[in-house]
């Protein structure tokens, strides 16, 4: 067990892809005294429970830009971190089963193209060329982007953590942040179950627990925790090039470089909760959906299922940056089901904000203050979203 620091320049609450990514970026820029607090083991939250899908095919411009920049980062991150993150750009195929989806997807592709993401709408015949096992009898169309892909989430976490530690960052696992001390409107320290760390800056990267962390200093976040269930199917030789997504079935299926196939379906009636126990009705529901979309999956076996908790905001966009009232408290949460996709670029921008004190332009649409507006544009591309 490492000794607790008495002083830090930055304390990051949360050892997931956001907290570890930010620790790496700050260390890379020369910051010496970076501390990450993680209540459990690295990636014990949503960062270690997701399928690793990396997709630029989103419906909000600001999310698309973060995803586009994240793809560029992931494409070279293995070399940068000296750790293989197993990023495979096999594309993402998004299926349309209703006329409404077909029309909406056309608009989305137009927006994505205007932001230099080379997605396109395709006919069922071409979709079947990309994924030969696809059932096309009910399929009306699809969108495809060849530079989207899939990675191994834990490898990203370990890679960030090891690289940050090599540069001097301290990652304290099994250490719980219990409180944040604020005096005169400024952050002074973080109280943990192992002692106190003095710091002028605290990052709230606590994922599904972000709202609780913010409430320690009286900041109210609109984030709510939603369960999402997932299963892994036995490892096989490469057979599924792109990640396949059907919003209609709230289904996604993708094959990792390890050979395993990750698949999940959403439950639109799920109330907010932190319940991590798996549901008995999940696997039959997943099986029916996956067989309807790709019938040959009936011959494959599920190895295990688990639950992750998504930190959802009302508009499906993360909350990034400073908040009014508490100097030194920075939000890096609310990524919902898009944390792996958006965080690689987001943590670079947050590092810039922390080091310069200026909010980069790309972060402006992600302020907490946006929730004062009456009308919010909502991200539609989160499988099983509420």
Nearest-CA neighbor of 331 among 3, 9, 22, 5?
Answer: 22
Does 301 sit near other proteins (CB under 8 A)?
A: yes
Nearer to other proteins (CB atom), residue 42 or residue 67: 42
Nearer to other proteins (CB atom), residue 265 or residue 346: 265
Nearer to other proteins (CB atom), residue 120 or residue 288: 288
SS3 of 145, please?
A: strand
Considering only 220, 258, 271, 274, the residue that binds other proteins (CB under 8 A) is: 258
Q: What is the Cα gyration radius of the chain?
A: 20
Nearer to other proteins (CB atom), residue 140 or residue 302: 302
Query: What is the signed CA dihedral for 331, 333, 334, 340, rounded to 10 degrees?
Result: 150
- Label residue 313 exposed, middle or buried (CB < 10 Å: 0-12, 13-18, 19+): buried
Smallest distance, other proteins to C-beta of residue 131, A: 17
Contact 58, 381 (CB under 8 A): yes
Smallest distance, other proteins to C-beta of residue 162, A: 8
SS3 of 11, please?
A: strand
Rounded Cα distance, 317 and 87, in Å: 24
SS3 of 254, please?
A: strand
Considering only 136, 306, 352, 365, the residue that binds other proteins (CB under 8 A) is: 306
Contact 151, 52 (CB under 8 A): yes
Site residues for other proteins, 25-64, by CB under 8 A, read 40-44, 48
Cβ of 372: how many Cβ atoms within 10 Å?
7
Site residues for other proteins, 269-288, by CB under 8 A, read 278, 283-284, 286-288
**DSSP secondary structure, 179-239, as one string:** EEEEETTEEEEEEETTEEEE-S-EEE--GGGHHHHHHTTT-----EEEEEEEEEE---SS-
Does 234 sit near other proteins (CB under 8 A)?
A: yes
SS3 of 235, please?
A: coil
Nearer to other proteins (CB atom), residue 111 or residue 283: 283
Considering only 102, 115, 158, 380, the residue that binds other proteins (CB under 8 A) is: 158
SS3 of 15, please?
A: coil
Nearer to other proteins (CB atom), residue 87 or residue 381: 87
Nearer to other proteins (CB atom), residue 164 or residue 350: 164
Smallest distance, other proteins to C-beta of residue 84, A: 13
Smallest distance, other proteins to C-beta of residue 279, A: 10
Does 371 sit near other proteins (CB under 8 A)?
A: no
Q: Which stretch binds other proteins (CB under 8 A): 114-122, 212-220, 298-306, 378-386?
A: 298-306
Contacting positions for other proteins (CB under 8 A): 40-44, 48, 154, 158, 173-174, 232-235, 258, 260, 278, 283-284, 286-288, 290-291, 297-306
């Amino acid at each position: 067990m490492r000794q607790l620091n008495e002083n830090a320049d930055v304390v990051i609450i949360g050892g997931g892809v956001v907290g570890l990514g930010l620790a790496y970026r700050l260390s890379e820029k020369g910051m010496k005294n970076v501390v990450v607090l993680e209540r459990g083991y690295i990636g014990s939250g949503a960062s270690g429970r997701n399928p690793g899908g990396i997709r630029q095919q989103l419906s909000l411009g600001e999310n698309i830009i973060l995803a586009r920049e994240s793809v560029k980062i992931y494409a070279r991150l293995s070399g940068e971190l000296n750790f293989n993150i197993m990023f495979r750009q096999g594309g993402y195929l998004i299926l349309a089963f209703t006329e409404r989806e077909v029309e909406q997807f056309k608009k989305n592709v137009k927006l994505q193209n205007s932001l230099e993401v080379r997605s396109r709408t395709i006919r069922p015949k071409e979709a079947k060329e990309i994924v030969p096992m696809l059932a096309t009898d009910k399929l009306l169309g699809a969108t495809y982007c060849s530079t989207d892909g899939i990675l191994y989430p834990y490898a990203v976490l370990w890679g960030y953590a090891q690289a940050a530690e090599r540069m001097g960052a301290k990652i304290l696992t099994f250490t719980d942040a219990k409180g944040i001390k604020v005096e005169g409107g400024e952050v002074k320290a973080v109280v943990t179950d192992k002692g106190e760390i003095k710091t002028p800056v605290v990052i709230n990267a606590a994922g599904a627990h972000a709202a609780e962390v913010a409430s320690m200093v009286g900041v109210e976040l609109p984030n709510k925790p939603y369960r999402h269930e997932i299963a892994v199917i036995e490892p096989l030789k490469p057979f599924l090039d792109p990640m396949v997504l059907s919003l209609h079935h709230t289904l996604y299926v993708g094959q990792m470089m390890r050979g395993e196939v990750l698949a999940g379906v959403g439950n639109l009636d799920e109330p907010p909760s932190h319940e991590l126990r798996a549901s008995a009705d999940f696997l039959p529901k997943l099986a029916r959906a996956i067989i309807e979309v790709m019938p040959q999956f009936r011959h494959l076996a599920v190895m295990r299922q688990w639950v992750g908790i998504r930190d959802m905001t009302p508009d499906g966009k993360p909350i990034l940056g400073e908040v009014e009232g508490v100097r030194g408290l920075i939000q890096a949460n609310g990524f919902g089901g898009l944390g792996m996709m958006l965080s690689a670029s987001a943590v670079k921008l947050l590092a810039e904000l922390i080091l310069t004190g200026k909010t980069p332009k790309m972060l402006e649409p992600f302020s907490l203050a946006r929730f004062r507006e009456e009308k919010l544009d909502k991200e539609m591309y989160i499988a099983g979203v509420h």
